[in-house]
Amino acid sequence: MKIFLSGLESNEKPILNYLDDNNAHIRSGLMSYYYLDKKMASNPELFEEISSRCDQILIDSGAHSFQTGKKVSWVEYTKRYAEWIKRVDNEKILGYFEMDVDNIIGYDKVLELRAILEKVTDKIIPVWHKNRGIEEFKKMVQETRGNIIALTGFKNEDIRDDQFSAFVSYAHKHGKKVHCLGMTRNSVLRKILFDYVDSSSWKQGALYGNALVFKNGKIKTKNVSGRFTTDELFIIGLKSFMQLDKFYNAKWSKISHDLYKMWWFAIAHLKLKLGELT
């Protein structure tokens, strides 16, 4: 499991300075095309500056960043997104999330927008919402050309916490990796083997003057009341979530390894039994 740190395109200067000063890098980063597009007008090198300091990247379409009620030409926006993908795509980028704005324009229109994006890359990540239905989830898993499908992790929005296992199992059975958007709830991450999740929570402490500290596999909030600048709190949060990422990656790597050993032992034992019978 990898935890992608999202929102890297905002407050990027202290982050980049910290990484450079400490010869560090971000294992998994997620950026929003919507905000990159806005900020690159004044800093054309922004995407490259951030991506060069990440090992792997996911790109969000930014569709949900539009203000409610704002008039949007969805087709034109999607075409710009597609053209940008053509310019920047490289092996480091694992995928690009689709324009999952079903609640605004309907699923049929979302499929039309997805088709525009799929003309330029096989890395488009479809995002399932419950309005699409279970059969559409199965179809999405079976027919997606890319390697990743996505679920939303916002509590009780599309999927209850006790339902995630069934969705993940079905996708894995059909050879797809699963990304859960906005998911860093420990109660879920300790039970469900998502391939990828993401969170912008690492930034939230700084916004309220709190330090987010990693301890025993969890993130703890500490009131530090004016002892650190906002930029320093951003870095504390960044470092803590980088530790959280390493924790869950190690945890699930061990579990997967142990399960493999159990499976291998069971097969070997069965072969032995079958040999005895013959």
Q: Give the H or E element holding residue 114.
A: helix 107-118
Do residues 197 and 225 touch, judged by C-beta distance below 8 A? no
| 141 within 8 A of 167, measured Cβ to Cβ | no
At residue 63, the pLDDT reads 81
Going from the C-alpha of 227 to that of each of 110, 209, 210, 233, 239, the distances in angstroms are 47, 9, 10, 10, 18
What are the structural domain ranges in the chain?
Answer: 2-249
- Residue-level pLDDT at 147: 96
Q: Is 25 left (phi over 0), alpha (psi -120 to 50) or beta?
A: beta
Contact between residue 126 and residue 112 where contact means Cβ atoms under 8 Å apart:
no
Who contacts 135 (Cβ-Cβ below 8 Å, separation ≥6)? none
Q: Which pLDDT does position 252 carry in this prediction? A: 75
One digit per residue, the tens of pLDDT, for the chain of length 278 reads 999 999 999 888 999 999 999 999 999 999 999 999 999 999 999 999 999 999 999 999 998 776 556 678 999 999 999 999 999 999 999 999 999 999 889 999 999 999 999 999 999 999 999 999 999 999 999 999 999 999 999 877 889 999 999 999 999 999 999 999 999 888 999 999 999 999 899 998 888 899 999 998 899 999 987 889 999 999 999 999 999 999 998 887 765 544 444 444 444 444 444 554 44
Cα–Cα dist 86/80, whole Å: 10
Of 97, 51, 95, 91, nearest in space to 78 by CA: 97
Distance, in Å, from the CA atom of 54 to the CA atom of 29, rounded to the nearest integer, reads: 6
- For helices 164-173 and 134-143, the axis angle rounded to 10 degrees is 30
Q: What is the DSSP letter of 67?
A: P
Q: Which CATH superfamily is domain 2-249 in?
A: Enolase-like C-terminal domain (3.20.20.120)
Please state the φ and ψ torsions of residue 106, each to the nearest 5 degrees.
Answer: 90, 155
In 3D space, the residue among 51, 116, 43 whose CA is nearest the CA of residue 86 turns out to be 116
